Structure 1
Amino acid sequence: MAAAEHYTAEDAQDVEEEDFIHNFRQPGDEDDMSDRQSSSSDDGMDDEDIAGPRLRQRVADTFEWKNRAYEYAWLGEYTENAGPRLHDVDSSIFDIFHHFIDDDMLQLMVRETNKYARKLILNAGNVDNSNLKGWRDTDVNEVRAFIALILGLGMVRHGRYESHWSTHWLLDHPGFRSIMSRNRFFLLLRCIHLVDDDDALPREDPNYDKAFKIRFFMNHVVNNFQTAFYPSRNVSVDESVIAFKGRVGFKTYHPKKPHKRGMTAWTLADSKTGYVFNSKLHTGNNQANGHATQVTVMNLCLPITGKKHHVYMDNYFSSPDLFTQLADEGLGACGTLRTNRRGTPDAIKNANPAVGDSVFERDGKLLFVAWTDKRKVSVLSTVHNSMTFDRQVREGHGPNHRVINKPCAIELYTQYMGGVDQADRLIWTYLHIHKSAEWWKKVFIYLLEVSFVNALIIYRCFRPDERVRSDKLRLELIDSLLANYARPSTRAGRRSQAPPRRLTERHFVSINDAKTPAGRQTTPDCVVCSKRGVKRHQTPYMCKECNQPMCPAPCFERFHTLVDYKAECTKEYHK
Structure 2
Amino acid sequence: MHGNEEEHGETMEDEATPWRSKNGEILWSPTHREVVPFFPPPILTPGPTHFAIARISSPETAFDLFFTEEILQLILHFTNLQGRRSVKQWKDVSEEELRAYLGLLILAGMYRSQHESTKCLWNSETGRPIFAASMAQKRFLQINLALRFDDRLSRPERHRREKLAPIIDLWSKWSTRLPKFFNPGRDICIDEQLVPFRGRCSFKQYMPSKPGKYGLKIWALCDVQTSYAWRLQVYTGKSATREVNQGMRVVLQLTDELEGHTVTTDNFFTSFPLAEELQKRRMALVGTLRINKPELPPQLLSVKGREVLSSVFGFSHNKTVVSYVPRKGKNVLLLSTRHREPEVQGSGKKKPQIILDYNRCKGAVDHLDQVCGTYSCRRQTRRWPMCLFYHMLDVSCYNAYMLFTAVDPGWNSTKNYRRRLFLEEVGRALVTPAMAARKCLPRGPFAASLVLKASRQVHGQEEEEEEEEEEEEGPQPGASRKRKQCALCTQRRRFVQ
Smaller-chain TM-score bracket: 0.7 to 0.9
1:77 aligns with 41
- Displacement of 1:450 after TM fit? 0.2
The AA in structure 2 aligned to 1:87 is A
3-state SS in 2 of match to 1:213? coil
| 1:164 and 2:121 matched | yes
Q: Tell which deviates more after alignment, 321-330 or 110-119.
A: 321-330
* Contact 1:148/1:478 (<8 A) preserved: yes
SS at match of 2:88: helix
Contact 2:289 2:335 survives alignment (8 Å): yes
Name the amino acid aligned to 1:150: L
User: Does the CA contact (< 8 Å) of 1:320 and 1:344 recur in 2?
Assistant: no
Letter in 2 for 1:451: S
CA contact (8 A) 1:243 1:262 kept: yes
Counterpart of 1:133 in structure 2 is: 88
Q: State whether residues 386 and 407 of structure 1, in contact with CA within 8 Å, keep that contact through their aligned partners in structure 2.
A: no
Matches within 5 A, 1:128-527: 132-156=87-111, 157=113, 158-167=115-124, 169=125, 171-200=126-155, 202=157, 205=160, 208-286=161-239, 290-304=244-258, 307-352=259-304, 353-374=306-327, 375-390=330-345, 392=347, 403-464=348-409, 466-467=413-414, 469-486=418-435, 488-489=438-439
- How many angstroms apart in 2 are the aligned matches of 1:134 and 1:354? 76
Contact 1:339 1:348 in 2 (8 A): no
Greater mean deviation of Cα atoms: 257-266 or 316-325: 316-325
In terms of Rg, which structure is larger? 1
Amino acid at match of 1:426: V
Give the SS at the match of 1:110: helix
State the 1:219 CA deviation.
Answer: 2.0
Q: 1:405 Cα deviation (Å)? A: 2.0
* Aligned CA distance change for structure 1 residues 81 and 199 (closer, same or farther; 3 Å): farther
What letter corresponds to residue 477 of structure 1 in structure 2? V
Give the conservation status (yes or no) of the 8 Å contact 1:70–1:383.
Answer: no
The amino acid of 1:302's aligned partner reads D
- 2:102 is matched by which residue type in structure 1? I
The aligned counterpart of 1:550 is: none
Structure 1 gap ranges (5+): 14-68, 121-131, 393-402, 493-575
Once the two structures are TM-superposed, the CA of residue 2 in structure 1 deviates from its matched residue by 7.4
Q: 1:117 aligns with which of 72, 83, 106?
A: 83
Query: In 2, Cα distance between the equivalents of 1:364 and 1:195?
Result: 52
Distance of aligned partners of 1:342 and 1:485 in 2 relative to their CA distance in 1, 3 Å threshold: farther
Measured in 2, the distance between the counterparts of 1:87 and 1:204 equals 35
1:146–1:491 CA distance, 2 compared to 1 (3 A):
closer
Asked whether the 8 Å contact 1:320–1:366 carries over to 2, the reply is no
Q: Tell me, in whole angstroms, the C-alpha distance in 1 between the residues paired with 2:36 and 2:59.
A: 38
Structure (1/2) with the larger helix percentage: 2
TM-score scaled by length of structure 2: 0.76
| Cα deviation, residue 162, structure 1 | 2.3
Check the 8 A contact 2:377/2:394 in 1, yes or no.
Answer: no
Preserved CA contact (<8 Å) 1:83 1:230: yes
Change (3 A) 1:70 1:460: farther
Partners of 2:303 and 2:37 in 1: CA distance: 23
Letter in 1 for 2:381: S
CA positional deviation for 1:113 = 0.7
Give per-residue Cα distances to partners, 1:178-230, cap 9 Å, x unaligned: 1111111111011111222344353784xx11111222212221221111111
1:6 aligns with 2:40: no
Q: Return closer, same or farther for 1:261/1:289 CA change in 2, 3 Å cut-off.
A: closer
**SS state of the match for residue 29, structure 2?**
strand
TM-superposed deviation, 1:344: 2.7
- Structure 2 stretches of 5 or more lacking a match? 1-23, 443-497
**C-alpha RMSD of the superposition:** 2.5
TM (norm. structure 1) is 0.66
**Contact 1:275–1:457 (CA under 8 A) maintained in structure 2:** yes
The separation in 2 between residues aligned to 1:297 and 1:411, in whole angstroms, is: 22
Contact 1:336 1:377 in 2 (8 A): yes
Contact 2:104 2:131 in 1 (8 A): yes
Deviations 1:522-542 (A, max 9, x none): xxxxxxxxxxxxxxxxxxxxx
Secondary structure of the residue aligned to 1:277 is strand
The partner residue of 1:88 within 53, 64, 71 is 53
Deviation at 1:391, TM superposition (A): 5.1
How many percent of aligned residue pairs carry the same amino acid?
25
Q: How many residues align?
A: 405
Give the direction of change, closer, same or farther, for the CA distance of 1:333–1:472 in structure 2 (3 Å limit): same
Q: How far off is 1:290 after superposition?
A: 3.8
1:244–1:357 Cα change, 3 Å = same
| Counterparts in 2 of 1:271 and 1:334: CA distance versus 1, 3 Å | same
Q: 1:174 offset after TM fit, Å? A: 2.0
Contact kept, 8 Å, 2:41 with 2:282, in 1: the verdict is: no
Alpha-carbon distance between aligned partners in 2 of 1:351 and 1:321, rounded to the nearest angstrom: 26
What's the secondary structure of 2:189's corresponding residue? strand
In structure 2, relative to structure 1, the CA distance for the partners of 1:414 and 1:284 (3 Å cut) is: same
**CA positional deviation for 1:147:** 0.3
CA spacing shift, 1:152–1:384, aligned 2, 3 Å = same
The amino acid that maps onto 2:289 is L
Structure 1 176/391 Cα, relative in aligned 2: closer, same or farther at 3 Å? farther
Partner Cα separation in structure 2 for residue 138 and residue 434 of structure 1: 20
The CA deviation string for residues 440-489 of structure 1, in whole angstroms up to 9 with x for no partner, is 10100110110010011112223446246111111110121123224543
| CA distance in 1 between partners of 2:150 and 2:400 (Å) | 25
Counterpart AA for 1:483: T
CA contact (8 A) 1:110 1:138 kept: yes
Asked whether the 8 Å contact 2:32–2:315 carries over to 1, the reply is no
**Paired residue for 1:100?**
66
Q: What's the CA shift for 1:118?
A: 1.6
